[in-house]
Structure formats: C-alpha cells, structure tokens
Chains A and B, each alone.
Chain A
C-alpha cells in the first residue's frame, strides 16, 4: 500500500489544488504560477512522448512499485515534509536499485534507460533508503540535465544534506514548528530563490502555499 500522505504531500505534488483547499489558504498566499517558465520546462522534461528508453521491463517494475501507473507525472514544486516516506511491498525493485547502486559502472536508471516516468519512480522509491538516496543523488548529478530532472535533484539534495546534519539549499524540506509547516534551516537563504529558479522550481514562498 502506497503511503498516500507521501504521494500527496511530497513526491508528485499535484498542482491541481482543489478549490476548497484554495479557500482555506492564508491571505496573500499566491500559489506557483503554472504559466511560468519553470512549469513549462518541467512539463516538457516529464513528457515521455518525445523520448525513447532502453529498458522497458525495469521501467515497468519501477513505475508499478512507485504506483505511478494511473496518474500522469506532475510538476515538482520543490517542497515536501522532511519526514515523508513511502511504503511499498515491492522489495524486489528496491533490491535491484540497491544492487545497481553498489555495482561500480552499472547503468543507473536515467531517462534514456527508463524514461521520465521511470526516473520519477526511482526518485520516489529511493526516499525510503538513506544510503540509496546518496547514491541516487550522485548518479543523478553525474548524468546531467538531460538524464535527471534538475528539480528532482534539488529536492533530493536537500533531503540528503539534512540527514547528514547540514542545512538545505533549496528550502524544499519542511518541518512542523508550533503547528505550522516551515522550511528546515536554509544555507545562504538570500539566494534560495535564485537556486530554485536555476533548478526549475517556483519561488519558495509560492511553493509553500501548496502545502500550507
């Protein structure tokens, strides 16, 4: 059973916010602009229509394990609860990712291997395993912007940094303080929106509107 809270609050954070939810938002809270460049770029990257992939079987097992079968890939707004996690019964696919991570020179499931849906599935699945997250982050950074979505790299890096006791750099990891969701400590917070823009993420303030 997939952890619904994770799916809703973190990974494939949908931008189709129900109207009722919008009414509950605090005043002056403007959600991310879905006509912006960040959104267009992500949608383009996440579309599997124009790209091919080489390992259909692995893609299918990843997409199935991450429960991405039914829903189209949503754009990444770059905020999630730092304690969000996912439960999956498919330990075989996680085992395969662990083996790939541990094998030097192995072909990591990037976009040309498993397509955008497969890459997003990897991103979701690795979040339940700290060691796997580190390797996935390293492999995603190495593979470059055509193979890994910069927005996913950014959120995963924040997660890894917080786990190692460092501050996050994109403001993507939120924690509850006095009943309110706030970003965990950010390094060089003055440039956080510039970094988010470079990673194809909307400004932090607007992204927070979606979760608050």
Chain B
C-alpha cells in the first residue's frame, strides 16, 4: 500500500475514532448576572449566586444563609423545569435532604458515560467546607456525589437514596487544600466503573451497582462557601 493510500485511509477512519468521545458541554456562565441566581444551574437546595472572581463569572454556594431543612426558594419552579409532571415526587425527596445544597446543570439533559469535571475553590464554612459533583440524579431525587471536604481533606463518594445519605468510598489518601485556591474534581464513568480525581490525581475507584443515568450538577454541604467554574461534561459511548 502506498503512503498516499495509507494517509487517505487514516483520513477516512478519523471520524470513526472520534465517535467514542462526543462533544463536550461546558456550562457557560458568561451571560449570567453577578449577584443573581444562576440560570444555567438550577438551585434546588441552598443559596446559589453568580459571583465575579478575577473578572470571571463563577457560581458561589453561600452557606451563610444555610438553615437545616430549607430548600431553595425556587425549588418548585426549578423541579418543574427539569422533571415536568414528576416534579412533586422530586420535591418530596429533596426536602428530606435539604441539609445538602444542590444545583442542577440545565444544559446537560442526561449523563451516562464519560467525564465530568469542575474547578472549585473553598472560601469558608465553619462546620463544612465542601465542593462536589452531583450525578445520576433521578426524578425521585436519588443521586450520587463525589465531593471534596476541606475540613476532612478527603475525596469521598456518597449515595443519597430516599433522602438518606450513605457513605460509599473514601479516596486513597487525604489531600489538604488551601482555602482561596482553585482545584479540580473530575469523575470518569464507564458502565459501572467510577473513577474520581483531584487535581488530576486518581484517588477513587469503585464499581457501582448499576450503570449511571440521570442529571448532573453541583453539590455542597451545610454552611460551606465554595465557588465553582468550568463545569464540563464530556459524554462517551462507554
């Protein structure tokens, strides 16, 4: 086979190779209004606002306003926006875990396989300093989260089922992170295989009971004050 034909063959096969990794969706905050609730993330629990950090728009979960058992003001409307007729079931369960602020990414209709990453910085929080990725969010309010907790220095996978939180697995090592500095959490899901990364370091691997399928978003805990940016979802075939 001549070099020219080989080159031509490679050109023809390139799109096939790319089919496995589909186009990334990066949640765009550039048109959001500072000090207003984000429109690209729908707050379900907690106080979420758009903030400006070094000229760039970020999402801030402000735990100063946190009170136990208090869902976000717009919960009913936001739940209706993403789950339509099934929103009442979702609301009932969300109220049960209103201890944990969550905001759903509006632009990501559904996530099964691929990667989700988000940059975050912890600013404050007396009881907790958390930032996490929520995924596998079901219409009944069940979900999974991989989160970093700055008061414990660890990356942990949790499940929420029927409003009850359960510990699943802790990252391989504790990593102290400084407040006011940006870091990245990433998860990779392939079938039932889940991997978690902190600043590119692989800390968590776990085999889930069933494949992931659901909505995604941001996660926090109680009075944490954390900022989020560059929430990116890169779906893959598996």
Interface residues of A (CB under 8 A from B): 141, 144-145, 150, 153-154, 157, 166-167, 169, 187-188, 190-191, 194-195, 197-199
List chain B residues, Cβ under 8 A from A199. 126
Q: Does B28 lie at the interface of the complex (its beta carbon under 8 Å from any beta carbon of A)?
A: no
List chain A residues, Cβ under 8 A from B64. 197-198
Task: Say whether B178 contacts A188, CB under 8 Å.
Answer: yes
Show 7 A/B contacts (Cβ-Cβ < 8 Å), sorted by A: A141-B151, A144-B222, A188-B180, A191-B123, A198-B64, A198-B126, A199-B126
Q: Which of A144, A166, A198 contacts B176 (CB 8 A)?
A: A166
Task: Say whether B127 contacts A195, CB under 8 Å.
Answer: no
Q: Does B181 lie at the interface of the complex (its beta carbon under 8 Å from any beta carbon of A)?
A: yes
Q: Give, as a whole number of angstroms, the nearest-CB distance from B121 to chain A.
A: 9
Q: Give, as a whole number of angstroms, the nearest-CB distance from B154 to chain A.
A: 13
Among A153, A167, A191, A197, the most chain B Cβ lie within 10 Å of the Cβ of A191
Q: Does B124 lie at the interface of the complex (its beta carbon under 8 Å from any beta carbon of A)?
A: yes
Q: Which of A150, A167, A188 contacts B126 (CB 8 A)?
A: A150
Task: Say whether B123 contacts A145, CB under 8 Å.
Answer: no
Task: Say whether B127 contacts A191, CB under 8 Å.
Answer: no
Task: Say whether B181 contacts A188, CB under 8 Å.
Answer: yes
Task: Say whether A187 contacts B178, CB under 8 Å.
Answer: yes
**Total interface residues on B, using CB and 8 Å?**
18
A37 to B24, CA, bound (A): 46
Interface residues of B (CB under 8 A from A): 63-64, 68, 123-128, 151, 176, 178-181, 222-223, 225
Known: A141-B151, A144-B68, A145-B223. A195 touches B180 (CB 8 A): no
Task: Say whether B225 contacts A194, CB under 8 Å.
Answer: yes
A154 to B127, CA, bound (A): 9
Task: Say whether A198 contacts B178, CB under 8 Å.
Answer: no
Task: Say whether A194 contacts B127, CB under 8 Å.
Answer: no
Among A145, A157, A167, A190, the most chain B Cβ lie within 10 Å of the Cβ of A145
A187 to B151, CA, bound (A): 14
Residue of B nearest to A146 (CB): B68
Q: Which of B63, B124, B128, B176 contacts A191 (CB 8 A)?
A: B124
Residue of A nearest to B64 (CB): A198
Task: Say whether A195 contacts B123, CB under 8 Å.
Answer: yes
Residue of A nearest to B177 (CB): A187
Known: A141-B128, A141-B151, A145-B223. A194 touches B178 (CB 8 A): no
